[in-house]
Amino acid sequence: MPIIYVRGYAGPTAGIDDVVDDPFYGFNRGATHVRVGGDGDPHFYQFEGPLLRLMGDEGYQLLVQGDQHRYLLGSADAALPPASLWVYRFYDQAATTFLPPPHENVFERLWSKVHHWVTADGFNIEAAATGLYDLITLIRQKTGAPKVHLVAHSMGGLVVRCMMQKICFRPQEDGRSRLPAKDLVAKFFTYGTPHGGIDFQLDAFDWAQQTFGPAGSDIFAPEKMYGYLEPGARFGDTPPRSSGFDPQTVPEEAFAAEDIFCLVGTNSKDYGPARLTVGPKSDGLVRIDHAYVRRAHRAYVHRSHSGPYGEVNSEEGYQNLRRFLFGPWQVALGLAGLPAAGDDEQWQADMRLAIRGLPVIVSEQQASHWCPIQLSQEIRRLDGKPDRTVPLAGTFLLEPAHSEPGMPSDKSAAPRMRYSLTLRVFKLDGHNGHFRFADHLEQVPAWSDTLIVDIGPASQGDEAGAWAAWNSMVEGSSDRFDPITEGLPTAQRRPVAVEREGEDYFCRIDLPPTARALPVLGADAAVRIHVHDRRTAR
């Protein structure tokens, strides 16, 4: 299906003028820097950029011909290829570089420059959302595609949500009803979008953003988001106390949360001065807990909001994007069989999810990145619910023949997908809000291990199966064994028992005895894996 990119906030008119000079609004940019953390040394790694990657990996075409909009208008219906890439250039109408220069004296010219650095005249989020609806309609008409994929960075995700939640419910100028977003959009992916708005560490900054909104930045004030996300509201309206408005919720009648993926950045150190006002639990601009839609898919990557270490121009971002758009298998992993949480105990878990053949971690939640899995809180939240499964991670798998290089050459006759889930569990010893260190060993987990899972045929022509083993139980290096159970004692070399319900597959893998000895996990603790075939129609 066609892919439409929607860029983020450009700032004042001066920033908008810079943005429109780029034919692709920045989505063509790659990167050459990669590093583990904000204090590490940069290393060279060449990432070509998401536009170029999609053209190479998925056979997409970038159709411009001097002016993509005129090219669309001048093409016959259903004449353009659906596998095409488009950039929504909503900032063009607010730029000054496409207009003849005005006749100004030196003082007027000076005032214009100052004005262009503090205002964003010509940009309106609802107008941008309306234009996006029109562009989607035109692309569907000219390609014959039933729907499109939307990919957005930062504020671009709010433009998309304004279209989905408000514009689609508003009649057109000629009185005709618009189609709902779920009839127009197949999947919606966001990089670092402030779905819950942007909050600062100082209340004074929040007040200034909401009250003055320099360069149109008041669209990020959580209270003001109500005005462009609620169908009956106007921008500037704030939600009534009885409304229950939550900016991080997309109503089901507008678009299904299961068709949304939110990439959450966790590296604030590699961003600009804004990181000093937003704080460390962020990507430098958007707080971690505000960067996702509730119930949507998400991944956490140690990347900043933008720049040379940014989310958009990163291998981590691209791999999550590609798998969400094209991966036929949806995988969800969680901890099941846990006992009730102790009242006085606080437990956390670090998680890392890796896929064979990739040079990066697909998703990771680390205490050192300010986003561990709060085990105790999650268990308490699930008390009384029938499915007491704490979510750990989720991803999407490509078919082996469609995946990246990296499959061992001697295993090509029976290609299998391999992914690993690394867990580290920590106990926090505290009382009355203070840590106690009398019995503390810093950075020593109560338990840590890596679950390695292989999915694929046992041999050529066989049906798919699953094999799993904890790395601590494998007798040797894991890369020597495929499937991984070949590294276990002979009596344990058996596939995982998989239950099937329609197009959904379920299995449970018991935690090692050392883990099940922990009170937070308990004797029945297991990793529950749910695999869903997305190719079936809902």
Q: Report mean pLDDT in 10-residue bins for the chain, 538 residues.
A: 94 87 91 72 87 93 92 94 96 85 73 70 91 97 97 96 96 90 97 90 50 65 91 89 89 95 94 79 93 96 92 94 94 91 81 92 94 91 77 88 50 70 89 69 89 82 81 92 90 88 90 94 94 78
Strand partners, 533: 329
Place of tokens 């810093």: 442
Element spanning 297, H or E: strand 297-301
Of the residues 292, 326, 360, the one at which a domain ends: 326
Place of tokens 């989720």: 394
Domain that holds residue 190: 1-326
Place of tokens 């992993």: 333
Of the residues 326, 345, 372, the one at which a domain ends: 326
- Give the HSE-up count for residue 506: Cα atoms under 13 Å, Cβ half-sphere: 9
Cα–Cα distance, 97 to 18 (Å, whole number)? 9
Task: Name residues whose C-beta falls within 8 Å of residue 79's C-beta, 6 or more positions apart in sequence.
Answer: 142
Q: Are residues 172 and 56 in the same domain?
A: yes
Q: Are residues 24 and 51 in the same domain?
A: yes
Strand partners, 397: 329
* Cα radius of gyration rounded to whole Å, the chain: 25
User: Contact at 8 Å (CB) between 25 and 4?
Assistant: no
Q: Are residues 297 and 414 in the same domain?
A: no
Q: What is the phi/psi pair of residue 302, to 5°?
A: -85, 70
Q: Are residues 345 and 320 in the same domain?
A: no
Sign of CA dihedral 393, 399, 405, 410: positive
Task: Name residues whose C-beta falls within 8 Å of residue 430's C-beta, 6 or more positions apart in sequence.
Answer: 346, 436
Q: Are residues 175 and 274 in the same domain?
A: yes
User: Contact at 8 Å (CB) between 418 and 453?
Assistant: yes
Longest dimension (CA), the chain: 88
Q: Are residues 149 and 172 in the same domain?
A: yes
Q: Are residues 342 and 316 in the same domain?
A: no
Q: Are residues 250 and 336 in the same domain?
A: no
Give all strands (DSSP E) within 210-286, no chain letters.
260-265
pLDDT score for 401: 63
Q: Write down the pTM of the prediction.
A: 0.91
Q: Are residues 151 and 174 in the same domain?
A: yes
Q: Are residues 294 and 347 in the same domain?
A: no
Q: Are residues 1 and 104 in the same domain?
A: yes
First-to-final CA distance of the chain:
18
Q: Are residues 442 and 490 in the same domain?
A: yes
Domain count, the chain: 2
Report the Cα 472 to chain-centroid distance in Å. 31
Nearest to residue 192, comparing CAs of 20, 9, 22?
9
User: Contact at 8 Å (CB) between 129 and 166?
Assistant: yes
Cα–Cα distance, 192 to 155 (Å, whole number)? 9
Domain of residue 270, CATH code: 3.40.50.1820
Pairing type for strands 504-510 and 526-533 reads antiparallel
pLDDT score for 407: 43
Of the residues 300, 326, 352, the one at which a domain ends: 326
